A and B are shown apart, each in its own frame.
Chain A
């Protein structure tokens, strides 16, 4: 069994977890949610094993030295799926909220599916080009994905929030279901965005320090840097709107 095969299988494990989560939400069956959690946990273990296996394989490939598997699109997407799954399982456990898997597991599934199935993403192990040979690579990539994953989950929460909370905001008591509790969703979203923002900040900063050690400038306004800054500005605006202006509740989802 090689890592690519293992990771392809994990795609379907995440898919199955997503099916259980979404079904548990539609049919309001807590058992299914519990099953979804266990399947997702199996997915996480397999996903991590796949990354470690790929790491070992990179040392065995003749002709080039091994490297941490965080160097191309395929490896990044696989790592992204792992961070999403780990974060949502932690949040699920810590806040005892069952809803988060409903949004997050499909994102993990789609990420893995894109990595495994898209013809544009090569799963071949490629040697590192000279600019990537730096320990900053590892710090930078891990920090960035720890930033992106909570943003992705909060995106999922926000979508459901916009479409369902409109109906339920009036009776904010837990009568609707144990799943949807608007103030809790808001709070969770805020937590995720703060976590993501911290790691996006660290990601941009490690990137800048790395650029300074590779090219002698910490900021060069190249499109990738600029877009990360744009993202940073946008999330900073969101945080200011909530923390300074106190946007929340009805004002947050935009329905009168």
Chain B
């Protein structure tokens, strides 16, 4: 268990699933080769890590069976063993004297304990009698619930990896797809999902601070040319259809064919509007040169600040030089920083989104969830339902009875002490 914990740390320090080149740069050639042999870049899926998990689970199973076969008889006994001598020595035992005949006390005490404990037994002794009681003996099994739940988790994960899949697909607004790209470990493979996903619309809304508020895709499932299911999905509210889950994962703008540029001249203050098509040179006003729209990116970061959707162009100056121009949509005055003769901004373009969907199927998830529930129940039983044993020993002495109350529990011994005190107080008042 500790070795799993230790090796897991490695995976949190070395970033996983990056480009080999990035690793090469960060660790140098030698370390890169060593790390690669041991699959450190995808260590949680490596053979040795998975082998350790399997060994741990095998260990749990074997140990559980071992211990269970030893304690089985103790747990499922019909006649639990009680030894008065075991209870007599306790320093926290409660004692009091009672002025009633032993016979009447016997009935009262037996009934009292019968209400509160699952099992009671009355035994006559040479000087009086003893009542033994116990409850929650079966909770000794609690720990095996926890262990079984871990087996459930592993089994569920195994079912998921054998019969499930995890993929990603990008759908343009107004288009549909019927296959997805499988993720890690299946590079480049696609998989048909048996129906079409149609994206009618995608919307993103922002808070005043510029933080995204909601991503919403209006999707339809299409089978045999008919829309059989429609739903708007947002993060945390996926489509679940025929065992396949569709999650909102990412989004972006589709590169438009052309944009409308607004050009402001520094010298004259005149404002011009021009349409720019990707790859086609346009003449800029006031004899300043030519401009070509060359690229578009959904995100662009400038000196560490994320500027969002940005167009890129090449500005060929009339004096022969050329400059790259970045035109972020959200910051229209960005190009003024270039301090050229003219400042360019994107005034208008056709906005069309694509939505990025995570598409998964995991038939093992219910086994895992069952494991979760068993684990929580098992932990609760193991930790907070102690196997409690109580003993009342009554000894006739002179005209009265001396009563001793003692208890033991396999955990929460402080709690049991308090309980013994309370029971003793109640018994003395009966």
Contacts and interface: CB of A to CB of B under 8 A. Distances in A.
A218 interface: yes
B247 A230 contact: no
A254 to B, nearest CB: 17
A112 interface: no
Interface string B1-33: 110110011011000100000000000000000
B414 A188 contact: yes
B341 interface: no
Interface string B197-216: 00000000001110111110
Interface in B332-391: 358-360, 362, 365, 368-369, 372, 375-376, 379-380, 383-384
A129 B211 contact: yes
A212 interface: yes
A126 B4 CA distance: 38
A174 B49 CA distance: 50
A95 B2 CA distance: 33
Contact of A234 (B5, B207, B379, B380): B5
Chain B interface size range? 35 or more
Interface of B: 1-2, 4-5, 8-9, 11-12, 16, 44, 143, 157, 166, 207-209, 211-215, 234-238, 245, 247-249, 358-360, 362, 365, 368-369, 372, 375-376, 379-380, 383-384, 411-414
A205 B376 contact: yes
A163 interface: no
Contact of B235 (A214, A223, A226, A230): A214
Given A188-B414, A197-B379, A226-B8, A130 B166 contact: no
A202 interface: yes
A50 B384 CA distance: 32
Contacts of A209: 369, 372
Given A214-B247, A215-B247, A202 B166 contact: no
Contacts of A219: 157
A122 interface: no
9 contacts: A95-B414, A129-B212, A184-B414, A197-B383, A201-B376, A208-B368, A216-B360, A223-B12, A243-B143
B209 A202 contact: no
Given A198-B380, A201-B379, A205-B376, A130 B412 contact: no
Contacts of A218: 365, 368
B1 A130 contact: no
A190 B379 contact: no
Contacts, number: 115
Interface residues of A, number: 47
B211 A213 contact: no
Given A197-B379, A215-B358, A233-B4, A131 B235 contact: yes
B11 A205 contact: no
A195 B369 CA distance: 22
B12 A127 contact: no
A51 B118 CA distance: 44
Given A129-B212, A130-B236, A194 B2 contact: no
Nearest to B56: A233
A18 B304 CA distance: 43
A126 B236 CA distance: 19
B274 to A, nearest CB: 36
B105 to A, nearest CB: 30
Interface string A147-170: 000000000000000000000000
B372 A130 contact: no
